[in-house]
Amino acid sequence: MVVLGTRPEIVKLAHIIKMLGDDAFVVHTGQHYDPGLSDSFFEQLQLPEPDAFLGIGGETRGRQIGAAVTALDGILADVEPGAVVVQGDTNTVLAASLAANARVVPLVHVEAGLRSNDRRMPEEHNRVVTDHLADLLLAPTEASRANLVAEGIPGDRIIVTGNTVVEAVLGLLPTPAERRELTDRFGVDPGRFVLSTLHRPENVDDPATLATILSELAALPLPVLLPLHPRTVNRATSFGLGDLLDEIQVVEPIGYREFLGLGAESAFLVSDSGGVQEEVSVYKRPVLVVRRSTERPEVIGTFAERVVPGPDISRIAREWAADLDAVHARLSDMPSPYGDGSASQRSVAAIRSLIDA
């Protein structure tokens, strides 16, 4: 039973689901559910419809987790799977882990061992609890494995697989011709615009912080393309930040494949997304990570630089913009720390071995 609930989970579990084939019973909790976006992700990734949908979106963290545990407990009783597979650090992951543990079903954690060491992040608690409940921990890097061993998790429960994001990006990245159509559609010049995303509460829920970030984006020497959910646009407007939004090209959220194409054609990215930090290492663009902490240190100093909201955003961005060709050339031959695109294959082999044991 593969349990997912957000778009990043769909992306990173897609190849595993396809390789498991008819052996995969897929449950979508609906933690983050927009009919257009979620459906397009399943379509673009060529996945069948989920076998079950829970609809827990729009609730507080505690209510989401509680509702998902209750619903998953019933499904586990009916399906009796050989294992439960989860990915990452969402409320869905924690709920599925607790439900599997209560039913004494082996738990597999894809992308295990990430640590920000920032207890202010709900995701940090989700991933730590899940790792300590898991029977099989599929770590993306040796650094992730070291985190797990340091916490006393037995090494024979850990396998370093690489990160499934690599094959997801390689499989979905639009062709150069398609990417040129994308830049034409959005009215930006290839290699000479900034692609940005903002969604973390620490950045978008505080008026002063959001004002600082938008001011820094508006001051960049290149045009900024900012896909932003209408809820965040409304929040920014209510904060009195409409004038700052007018200085940026704000568009509605776009599909994953289109976002990858724009990222690959951008000068660089400014984002608070964890997934973007990984994806840029595949299509070789730098990203400014606007966060207090990150659980992906493998790309810091190469494909990524972390900054807190403030003048360092425009300072580093201007340094990159002053010599973009050199920045891009430096990254073009740099290997991704997340593997060679075989993570899903290794993961499925490990899952089958666990079930057959």
| Residues classed as catalytic | 199
Which parts of the chain are beta strand (E)?
2-4, 26-28, 52-53, 84-87, 107-110, 136-139, 158-160, 194-197, 224-227, 249-251, 268-271, 287-290, 304-307
Structure tokens that stand for 272 in this block: 């608070």
Closest C-alpha to 237, from 217, 218, 214: 214
Q: Is 3 helix (H, G, I), strand (E, B) or coil?
A: strand
Contact assessment for residue 148 and residue 131, using Cβ atoms and an 8 Å cutoff: yes
Inter-axis angle of helices 256-265 and 176-186, nearest 10: 90
Q: Is 27 helix (H, G, I), strand (E, B) or coil?
A: strand
Q: Is 103 helix (H, G, I), strand (E, B) or coil?
A: coil
Contact assessment for residue 111 and residue 140, using Cβ atoms and an 8 Å cutoff: yes
Burial of 282 (0-12, 13-18, 19+ CB in 10 A): buried
